Structure 1
Amino acid sequence: MNIDEKLRKLRELMASRQIDAYIVNTSDPHQSEYISNYYKTREFISGFTGSAGTCVITMDKARLWTDSRYFLQAEKELEFTEFEFYKLGFEEDPSIEEFLLEEVSEFGKIGFDGNCFSVKDYKNLSENMGSRALVYDIDYISKIWNDRPSLPKEKVWVYDLEYVGESLESKIKRLRTELKDKNCDYNFIGSPEDICYLLNIRGNDIEYNPVFLSYLLISMDEIHLCVDLDKIDDKVEEYLKENNVKLHSYDYIYTLLKDIRGKNRIYLDPERTNVLIYDSINSNVRIMTGINLSTKMKAIKNDVELENEKKAYLIDALTLVKFFNWVEVGTKTGSLTELIASKKLHDLRSENESYIEDSFETIAGYKENGAIVHYSSNSLSSKTLEERSLLLVDSGAHYMEGTTDITRTISLGKLTEEEKENYTLVLKSHIALMSAKFKEKTNGQRLDAIAKYPLWKAGKDFFHGTGHGVGFTLTVHEGPNRISAFDNTEFIENMTTSIEPGLYIANRHGIRIESEVYVKEDFTNEFGKFMKFECLTFVPIDTRPVNIDMLERWEIDWLNSYNKKCEEILSPYLEGSDLEYLKESCREI
């Protein structure tokens, strides 16, 4: 079916229940950032393939909203469809709520699949829609998606203590202490990465995320895991039994929740709990909400995790040096494309014994494609690399030792003055935050301003976050900490984060420089405890695009010192042309 045919069938179903507007969001029952193919309903109905976006379909209109990472992509992919594209956060475009208020009459009906709609989003919508009815027991996409992919069935596996550094028993004990402090009897957890963290197990239900779809219910004396039992082999079953975890089928969570009665209190995260789950809790049970307790726990890495992360970044750095050397040799042949380069990087990573999978789809954007923040090359868009302009490569992997996420932008030859100026501004932004000293518990909003100041001073900006927490062989984007203009989460010791400023000039070039760091105490004096970022990423930063006249002396010293450390760390493991490439990349300026 083409998009027009899908919309026609959807509208027939809407008419049967007098639904005036139908919402198709980007989600699964666990509100995961990345979702399995089975749950890519928004992509099915619209054709837009970005990882974030929401569709609203009425009887005569079809609209899609997405954020700044995907503006250029959405414009291209929706060009020949009925869908019109609106920019999230831009005043000139209506918000989803404004559109619904305009298009749906006062007593009209708005429908959506409550299984894939969070409690938080439902409450926000309810508060804004007045007397309009919200109908959340409708899954229309399932009725028209005839060739829908099946749900994954791969086995769950136990993640050894030598990597995670803390036992299941210890983590549950800490969580129960937090639960008791909140005067709650139960903790419902619907986010797969939190469940995997607590139980020290991993899976393969979602591409780029070594997690499995499941629910967890914890009381002061019991642990219940609800999962597709076909994914549990004898070894995992025995491990869970030894740790007093009771196994149930995936949908049994509704029975467990309905069995909670009386004056019990349950704690849950409204952002990671779907409407149907919430609706199954008895009305006399007191519900307390907030961010998952385990989310805060896993954000602070223990010493074993940090030591393993350093090993993961060493593996990744060596791979990237070999890759960039290969790219520059291949570019000279005139036959190397973005798509071929992306595949080569995947192949190089997969040669490592501890490699599990990529942590997201590699972004390899040459020239104007680099300006598409979450660009994905394909056979139609893939550009041939030439000996000029800039190549942006944002990539990462999950290893047994941890998760990586890194971006480097390199020169492939002759550059324009604009490319050099913009590259240097991004570099100044990167250095500003990498070298920052800040008080303990400084929030992400303040750290964001430190990074952006060099760009703001030049009258330029970028519209994605400056940094995000990185999971430990879980999700590459991990909360609660973010570095952005809207984040108030306090940064404390042993939190990891990316630092990734960028600059994107449509139809010309894109630049991003990203490294991962963790928070470490620097010194304490009469004014309090001061922190710094300790670097995990050691891949040389390209100095060829630098306009040295734009850098202050201390910035030059920082850059030279960083690249020198890259050479010291990596050179013992490289040889031949890869070693020569490393040394050349790390030359002082």
Structure 2
Amino acid sequence: MADSATRRRFQTFDDPGHREGAARISALREAMRAAGLDGFVVPRADEHQSEYVPPDAERLAWLTGFTGSAGTAVVLAAEAALFVDGRYTLQAPEQVDTAAITPVAIAETAPEAWIEAHFGAGSILGYDPWLHTPDGVARLERAVAKAGASLQPVARNPVDAVWADRPGRPAGAIVAHPPELAGESTADKLARIRAALEKAPCDALVISDPHNLAWTFNLRGADVAHTPLALGYAVVPREGRAGLYLGSERVAADLRAALAELADLRPSDAFPEALDAASARAKRVRLDSATGAYALKTRIEAAGGVADLGPDPITALKAVKNEAEIAGARAAHLRDGAAVTRFLAWLAGRAGQGGLTEIEAVEVLEDFRAETGLLRDVSFPTISGSGPNGAIVHYRVTRATDRAVGEGELFLIDSGAQYADGTTDITRTIAIGTPSPEMRERYTRVLKGHVAIAAATFPKGTTGAQIDAFARAPLWEAGLDFDHGTGHGVGAFLSVHEGPQRIAKTGTTALQPGMILSNEPGYYRAGAYGIRIENLILVEELAIPGAERPMRGFETLTLAPYDPALIEPELLSEREIAWIDAYHARVRAALSPQVDAQTRAWLDDVTRPIGGTK
């Protein structure tokens, strides 16, 4: 096993301390008054609207104690609210001081509706124009207008004014992503981007999304946790040289020379003036509607350009993995599957001894991954939830919340890894001791939905929204459901949550061969237990004899067994049993050579065919 120092480099378990929330919100109100504001909006965002943000952009967590990856606080003179989605409705009240800030489910009340109802006429609502998209600002403008109030951008975020020990900007190294893993040169990618600009038509593109920056220039960095990003911007004209603006002093000489052949590499602080110059030359500048800050839009327009708000074409290009990226994903999942399976075998023995805690499980799983010698980071903070904590969809264990895994409980562990050749994400739910009949029934319904997605066939052009119900139907039959999407896109040694593809009610992007997504239906009984089963899947072309249309399906990339103690065979069809048995046979064949003898014996046992012995 790796030592404690090795473990801590990947994940920490600090509690942000919600007891300070009231004092911090009070300090923010003082700063608001000094700036002439009656309210202020604090989103969980940085200048790039990223999911994982650098420490100096963790304003929402610092202010409220809420550590979820999405949320918005609205602080007024006498009240404050924190808006969260269905993933965090249980987590938010546990983390924040509810006497100072009220958690609100965004599905029931949107921030704009709350502002309209709670903001007084003639009042001024402040916002940081770097932390909101143009569409987000437009929604705020409509809300304050209905309240008879006004919206005002700030030159300096008032949270920063009261955050005395705010961390400094990231300074991680920026390195090349090897061509054998990238599978395509930067020159070829720029050519495809320019072809997309020609089609749009636009004269230039502002790359505001660091994931797209990394993909385009075959770069990786260490500016945020869990995702290998270098924060920065680029401007790609339809004709002429691109400009790349990031911490250029952190780029090694050989990489700097390679980039200089394709783009002008300059420091981050040179970007505003470069954007002014590009906007003055170009008639139409594409600004990503998902990640482009409102401040960029106003800057483009002030320089005489037209901000063409729309999707960054790189997002769609990046979503379809090439042969090298797919090969890397398969290799990463084989390696990761062996590590996870070693952990599951260890867990089977350790849980029976008593005293196993959520944090211990996280640390041991990280140890097994670290022992591959290739682990760069975990791809997100591991969700290690025992009993009632498993019902908190995006639960993050801390020293304060850590609990022992009890006999007769379910233990949910959702984790992932970053390797240079691929990004993984897997969830398994395990019975500790003997599960109740209800646990087995609910688990099997979730498994039925999971298999329905994995075994789905669908015609070209099908979207994630069209197959999302496949995962929910077995739960719906029992009057049950889950409040998150069924699947999200996944990057190639990039973000574990990547668009535009997703399997969800809002998944409107057609699923194309080469896209990687998660398949993760669940069920959550508040205060009792949670169930989620997750594999990553690759969209592939299917050759169906006699088919009249091009057909698609999925290859399951993740390799790790399900818990047979939770499977109720009587609820499964013959087709579902056949799929599970075939998957377990594949897992056994692939992983047996990769694990130790003790793990191999355990794996042989838990992957026995459901309908009988091997």
Give your verdict on TM over 0.5. yes
**CA offset at residue 83 of structure 1?**
0.6
Q: Which amino acid aligns with 1:465?
A: G
Partner of 1:282: 301
Q: Compare 156-165 and 535-544 and name the one that shifted more.
A: 535-544
2:151 to 118, 134, 147: 134
Partner of 2:135: 120
* 2:570 pairs with 1:549: yes
Contact 1:517 1:536 in 2 (8 A): yes
Partner SS, residue 353 of structure 2 = coil
**Deviation sequence 1:380-427 (CA, Å, 0-9, x none):** 222222443221110001101110011111222111111111101100
Output aligned runs, 1:561-580, within 5 Å.
561-580=582-601
Contact 2:387 2:406 in 1 (8 A): no
**CA offset at residue 262 of structure 1?**
5.3
**Deviation sequence 1:13-32 (CA, Å, 0-9, x none):** 22223312110000000000
Output aligned runs, 1:417-456, within 5 Å.
417-456=437-476
**Deviation sequence 1:198-242 (CA, Å, 0-9, x none):** 000100000001001100100121111111233222222122113
1:308 to 300, 306, 328: 328
Partner SS, residue 280 of structure 1 = helix
Partner SS, residue 19 of structure 1 = coil
**CA offset at residue 527 of structure 1?**
3.0
**Deviation sequence 1:468-513 (CA, Å, 0-9, x none):** 1100011100000111112211111111111000000011110000
Q: Compare 125-134 and 358-367 and name the one that shifted more.
A: 125-134
Partner of 2:526: 506
Partner SS, residue 281 of structure 1 = helix
2:232 to 214, 219, 236: 214
1:515 to 526, 531, 535: 535
Partner of 2:606: 585
* 2:77 pairs with 1:59: yes
Partner of 1:106: 121
Structure 1 spans left out of the alignment, 5+ residues: none
Partner of 1:393: 413
**CA offset at residue 33 of structure 1?**
0.7
Cα 1:263/1:228, change in 2 over 3 Å:
closer
Contact 1:191 1:215 in 2 (8 A): yes
1:415 to 430, 435, 451: 435
Contact 2:22 2:97 in 1 (8 A): no
The whole-number CA distance in structure 1 between the counterparts of 2:158 and 2:606 is 54
Cα 1:254/1:339, change in 2 over 3 Å:
same
2:192 to 143, 154, 174: 174
**Deviation sequence 1:317-375 (CA, Å, 0-9, x none):** 00011111111211122132110110111121112222211100111111111111111
Cα 1:400/1:526, change in 2 over 3 Å:
closer
Contact 2:46 2:57 in 1 (8 A): yes
RMSD: 1.5
2:496 to 471, 476, 497: 476
Partner of 1:229: 248
The whole-number CA distance in structure 1 between the counterparts of 2:32 and 2:509 is 41
Partner SS, residue 541 of structure 2 = strand
Cα 1:504/1:192, change in 2 over 3 Å:
same
1:96 to 88, 97, 111: 111
Partner of 1:531: 552
2:36 to 18, 41, 44: 18
Contact 1:153 1:230 in 2 (8 A): no
TM norm structure 2: 0.93
Quote the sequence identity (%). Answer: 32
Structure 2 spans left out of the alignment, 5+ residues: 1-18
Cα 1:262/1:207, change in 2 over 3 Å:
closer
The whole-number CA distance in structure 2 between the counterparts of 1:141 and 1:117 is 15
Contact 2:453 2:470 in 1 (8 A): yes
Contact 2:21 2:96 in 1 (8 A): no
Contact 1:332 1:386 in 2 (8 A): no
**CA offset at residue 166 of structure 1?**
0.5
* 2:365 pairs with 1:350: no
**CA offset at residue 526 of structure 1?**
5.5
1:560 to 570, 578, 581: 581
Partner of 2:422: 402
Cα 1:262/1:37, change in 2 over 3 Å:
closer
TM norm structure 1: 0.97
Partner of 1:269: 288
Partner SS, residue 498 of structure 1 = strand
Contact 1:363 1:392 in 2 (8 A): yes
Q: Which amino acid aligns with 1:148?
A: R
Contact 1:119 1:271 in 2 (8 A): no
The whole-number CA distance in structure 2 between the counterparts of 1:278 and 1:252 is 17
Q: Compare 94-103 and 341-350 and name the one that shifted more.
A: 94-103
The whole-number CA distance in structure 2 between the counterparts of 1:511 and 1:397 is 21
The whole-number CA distance in structure 2 between the counterparts of 1:172 and 1:9 is 47
Q: Which amino acid aligns with 1:76?
A: E
The whole-number CA distance in structure 1 between the counterparts of 2:356 and 2:250 is 41
The whole-number CA distance in structure 1 between the counterparts of 2:366 and 2:521 is 24
Contact 1:312 1:402 in 2 (8 A): yes
**CA offset at residue 126 of structure 1?**
2.0
Partner of 2:561: 540
Partner of 1:467: 487
Q: Which amino acid aligns with 1:295?
A: T
Q: Which amino acid aligns with 2:240?
A: D
Partner of 1:76: 94
Partner of 1:155: 173
The whole-number CA distance in structure 1 between the counterparts of 2:214 and 2:78 is 44
Partner SS, residue 187 of structure 1 = strand
Partner SS, residue 280 of structure 2 = coil
The whole-number CA distance in structure 1 between the counterparts of 2:80 and 2:101 is 5
Q: How many residues align?
A: 585
* 2:44 pairs with 1:44: no
Partner of 1:372: 392
The whole-number CA distance in structure 2 between the counterparts of 1:56 and 1:62 is 6
Partner SS, residue 114 of structure 1 = coil
The whole-number CA distance in structure 1 between the counterparts of 2:435 and 2:66 is 33
**Deviation sequence 1:274-316 (CA, Å, 0-9, x none):** 1222211134312222111110001000011101100000000
The whole-number CA distance in structure 1 between the counterparts of 2:30 and 2:417 is 44
Partner of 2:7: none
Q: Which amino acid aligns with 2:166?
A: R
The whole-number CA distance in structure 2 between the counterparts of 1:378 and 1:526 is 52
The whole-number CA distance in structure 1 between the counterparts of 2:75 and 2:47 is 21
The whole-number CA distance in structure 1 between the counterparts of 2:448 and 2:483 is 17
Partner SS, residue 165 of structure 2 = coil
Contact 1:420 1:546 in 2 (8 A): yes
Contact 2:227 2:379 in 1 (8 A): yes
**Deviation sequence 1:404-459 (CA, Å, 0-9, x none):** 01111122211111111110110011011111111111111111011111111111
Partner of 2:517: 497
Cα 1:139/1:174, change in 2 over 3 Å:
same
Partner SS, residue 22 of structure 1 = strand
Contact 1:426 1:502 in 2 (8 A): yes
